[in-house]
Amino acid sequence: MQKQYSASSGKLQQRLMELQAVGSLKEISHLPPPRCHALSGDRTGQFSVDLEHPYRLLFIPANDPVPRLEDGGIDRSKVSEIEIVEIADTH
């Protein structure tokens, strides 16, 4: 299920400004309200931040190459660019 968002949506604008203001993805809190977290399953490699429940802004690292940790995970401290994928209810 997807929701139509206008460019003036308050929560969407807030999250976009937060993402634009930081130097790396690590600076976005994993705690509410943004609750930035990595997704799993068929969305492995994607991240999301909360919008209006249950919708989330989904994005991927746009650094080339994607910065990796020794264990193969994404190094959030070095992700300085993102590409927005969609707004969706991932539940």
Which pLDDT score, from 0 to 100, does residue 48 have?
97
Residue 80 has pLDDT above 80, yes or no: yes
> Backbone dihedral region of 34: left (phi > 0), alpha (psi from -120 to 50 degrees) or beta?
alpha
Q: Where are the domains of the chain?
A: 10-89
Residue 2 has pLDDT above 50, yes or no: no
Residue 12 has pLDDT above 80, yes or no: yes
What are 23-74's pLDDT values in tens digits? Answer: 999 999 999 999 999 999 999 999 999 998 889 999 999 999 999 999 999 9
Residue 8's alpha-carbon distances to 13, 15, 35, in angstroms, are 7, 12, 21
> What is the rounded distance in angstroms from the CA atom of residue 47 to the CA atom of residue 84?
9
Q: Which fold has domain 10-89?
A: YaeB-like fold (3.30.2310)
